[in-house]
């Protein structure tokens, strides 16, 4: 997750995903995002916040897709009118539950299933 929160802060989105048992690696800039993608090649999806500083969403997505064409990219946006060409999904940054639903639809529910 490339997140705009300060390094000392924890976003509500990250807390929601980790509480739901998703593993989350957080970057705070596009440059850091690229480093983490290379460092952790088994990342299953990338969540980019559209308001990262010094960040052109379309250019960033195209760069990532060129190198990692199968990596699903989810863009979090504060406005429904924002569209980032090349992104696989767009989700409201104000609705962490929508992001959680999308990830569960893509990868299943990582929480341990209760024995019947």
Could you tell me if residue 9 is inside a domain? yes
Question: Could you tell me the residue range of the domain that residue 14 belongs to?
Answer: 1-40+58-71+99-108
- pLDDT band, very low/low/confident/very high, at 98 (cuts 50, 70, 90): very high
Overall number of domains in the chain? 1
Q: What is the mean pLDDT of residues 88-100?
A: 91
Supply the mean pLDDT for the chain: 86
Could you tell me if residue 8 is inside a domain? yes
Entry pTM? 0.86
What distance lies between CA 46 and its chain's CA centroid?
4
Q: What is the pLDDT of residue 115?
A: 47
Q: What is the mean pLDDT of residues 33-44?
A: 92
pLDDT in tens, 9-21: 557 788 889 999 9
CB-count exposure of residue 34 (10 Å: 0-12, 13-18, 19+): middle
């Amino acid at each position: 997750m490339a997140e705009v929160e300060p390094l000392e802060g924890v976003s509500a989105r990250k807390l929601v995903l980790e509480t739901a048992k998703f593993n989350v690696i957080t970057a705070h800039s596009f440059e850091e995002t690229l480093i983490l993608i290379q460092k952790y090649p088994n990342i299953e999806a990338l969540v980019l916040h559209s308001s990262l500083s010094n960040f052109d969403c379309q250019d960033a997505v195209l760069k990532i897709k060129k190198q990692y064409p199968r990596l699903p990219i989810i863009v979090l946006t504060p406005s429904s009118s924002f569209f980032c060409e090349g992104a696989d999904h767009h989700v409201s940054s104000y609705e962490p539950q929508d992001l959680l639903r999308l990830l569960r639809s893509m990868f299943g529910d990582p929480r341990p299933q209760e024995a019947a």
